[in-house]
Structure 1
Amino acid sequence: MADVHESTRPRKRWGRRLLITFLVLLAILAAAFVVADRVAASYAEKEIGDRVARQVSDRGATSEKPDVTVAGVPFLTQVLAGEYQEIKILLKNYSGPAGNGKTVKMPELDIRAKDVTAPLDTIRSGKGDIVAGTVTGTGTIGYADLAELIGREGITISEKDGKLVGSAPVEALGQTFNVSGTATLEVRDGVVQVRFTDVTAQGLPDVPLVRNLIDDYAKNLALDLKVPALPMGLQVQKVEPRSEGLVVTTGASDVPLSSGGL
């Protein structure tokens, strides 16, 4: 009996060693996969960033180097499936021409491409279409920059109760009065129209001559703001005054990323 008991011990030790070796190899393979996955994702992010940077330059705009993140883990399984959850592109200090020698500045332009389809064969051959189902972009124009675009001396712009309001000094009857009013915002063919209404001046008499003076001044505060051509075919959809500035929301659908779209 003693001989039989002693002969089984080496087998048990060998079995434990085999299991430990298998687990170690599994851990090494898992770590290698994670590293390979991140390397592949980093390469894709760099390629996308380079293409976006070229688009920014081609449109006469400037920004810092695009910060690109391909969302979703693991990345390689998305490559194999040919479908990507989301691609995030952050452009800091974005500025571009808005016509009439003016420049629109945005501290940040946040772009998100979702439902991206890129078949593996297309990636391998470079032929075929890579398409983003939806692309959205959000940027903010500071009120000081917006006032500069309007170009009237002394004008200040801010948000109050969800509305865009402005005030500026005006001379009338030999005195200087402060004129204030609320602006309406409308988007037409990619142009943001800013029009001031309900303009009043405290202390000025409400007579036709003065009223006409105030109305003419309000018309001079009008602004047609052409948002610069944006990457990935983004078009202005709405503008909204918030405490941090005028928030511009853009969007596009079925955007080709393999050629002109990116």
Structure 2
Amino acid sequence: MRKVLLALLVLLAVGVVAADRIGVRVAEDKIGEQVAAQYNLQQPPDVTIHGFPFITQALGGDYDHIEVTIDDWTQRGVTVTGVKVDMRGVSAPLSEVTQGSAANVTARTATASAVIPYDVIKKEAPKQVKKIGPKGDNLEVDFESTFLGRPLSSTAIVQVKSTARGIAISPISVSSGGGPAVPLALVKRQLTWTVPMADLPLGSRISILEPTPDGLRVGATAENVRLNDLQQRQK
């Protein structure tokens, strides 16, 4: 009899786990649909709800940690890659999730990150710019110009800064590789531009900028985010 009871308990546990995993998949799909609709995405993002068991979180409507992977995302004509949103302290009533509504879905914090490829940054740059790459906390820019009537190839170190209009890029030093010294003030007038990417998904303003070999990694954190109140970004 003891073996029979043990077998029944194992079967019950397996059934509960299976039901739990089915439930979490349904909830992840619903949240993905909400985010896709909010940001006019061509396909729903990948959503992962952490924590076990899921059913206790679902019944309470409170989730400790939800990750959303959007991959590519476009804002104001600028496409970034590897977009991820890490939401903590998510409140999503079960009735809202099952009905596909975002009216009362909120997150205590939403931390987003993405990479702006250097070719995307170059696309927004003045035409003199030929190459962009990382240089410590700044970027290194190879560019061509005319100085004292002569064509000149130079390299500038530019800083990146987040502003309300986007990511501002401006030279802080310049080297002409043995040619005539080009005044920094002149280079600033020719080589200052803005990449029109100020926010990341879930309404967060970019505040972290980190040059990497693959591109400029940007990050942002928003607090007390309500999905239903977010403004849909134009592509």
TM bin, normalised by shorter chain, reads 0.7 to 0.9
Give runs of ≥4 in structure 1 deviating > 4 Å.
119-128
2:62 counterpart residue number: 83
- Residues 120-131 of structure 1 correspond to what in structure 2 (within 5 A)? 129-131=104-106
Distance 1:40 1:216, change over 3 A: same
1:146 counterpart residue number: 121
Aligned to 2:14, which of 25, 31, 44? 31
* Identity between Structure 1 and Structure 2 (%): 26
Kindly provide the amino acid, as one letter, of the partner of residue 58 in structure 2: V
Where 1:232 maps in the other structure, the secondary structure is coil
Where 2:88 maps in the other structure, the secondary structure is strand
Kindly provide the amino acid, as one letter, of the partner of residue 255 in structure 1: V
Kindly provide the amino acid, as one letter, of the partner of residue 44 in structure 2: K
Kindly provide the amino acid, as one letter, of the partner of residue 31 in structure 2: I
2:167 counterpart residue number: 192
1:233 counterpart residue number: 203
Distance 1:49 1:194, change over 3 A: same
- What is the CA–CA distance in structure 1 between the aligned matches of 2:161 and 2:110, rounded to whole Å? 22
How much does 1:80 deviate?
2.9
- What is the CA–CA distance in structure 1 between the aligned matches of 2:186 and 2:161, rounded to whole Å? 20
2:71 counterpart residue number: 92
> Are 1:40 and 2:23 an aligned pair?
yes
Distance 1:56 1:190, change over 3 A: same
Count of matched residue positions in the alignment of Structure 1 and Structure 2? 230
2:86 counterpart residue number: 112
Report the TM-score, using the length of structure 2 for normalisation: 0.86
Gaps of 5+ in 1: 1-17, 98-102
How much does 1:129 deviate?
3.5
How much does 1:34 deviate?
0.9
- What is the CA–CA distance in structure 2 between the aligned matches of 1:44 and 1:124, rounded to whole Å? 7
Kindly provide the amino acid, as one letter, of the partner of residue 76 in structure 1: I
- What is the CA–CA distance in structure 1 between the aligned matches of 2:220 and 2:57, rounded to whole Å? 27
How much does 1:121 deviate?
7.2
Kindly provide the amino acid, as one letter, of the partner of residue 54 in structure 1: A
How much does 1:128 deviate?
7.7
- After superposing the two structures, state which structure 1 stretch, 217-226 or 246-255, moved more: 217-226
1:54 counterpart residue number: 37
1:13 counterpart residue number: none
- After superposing the two structures, state which structure 1 stretch, 41-50 or 80-89, moved more: 80-89
1:179 counterpart residue number: 154
- What is the CA–CA distance in structure 1 between the aligned matches of 2:64 and 2:222, rounded to whole Å? 17
Q: Is the 8 A contact 1:119 1:130 kept in 2?
A: yes
The higher radius of gyration belongs to: 1
Aligned to 1:163, which of 132, 135, 138? 138
Q: Is the 8 A contact 2:23 2:54 kept in 1?
A: yes
- What is the CA–CA distance in structure 2 between the aligned matches of 1:110 and 1:41, rounded to whole Å? 19
Report the TM-score, using the length of structure 1 for normalisation: 0.78
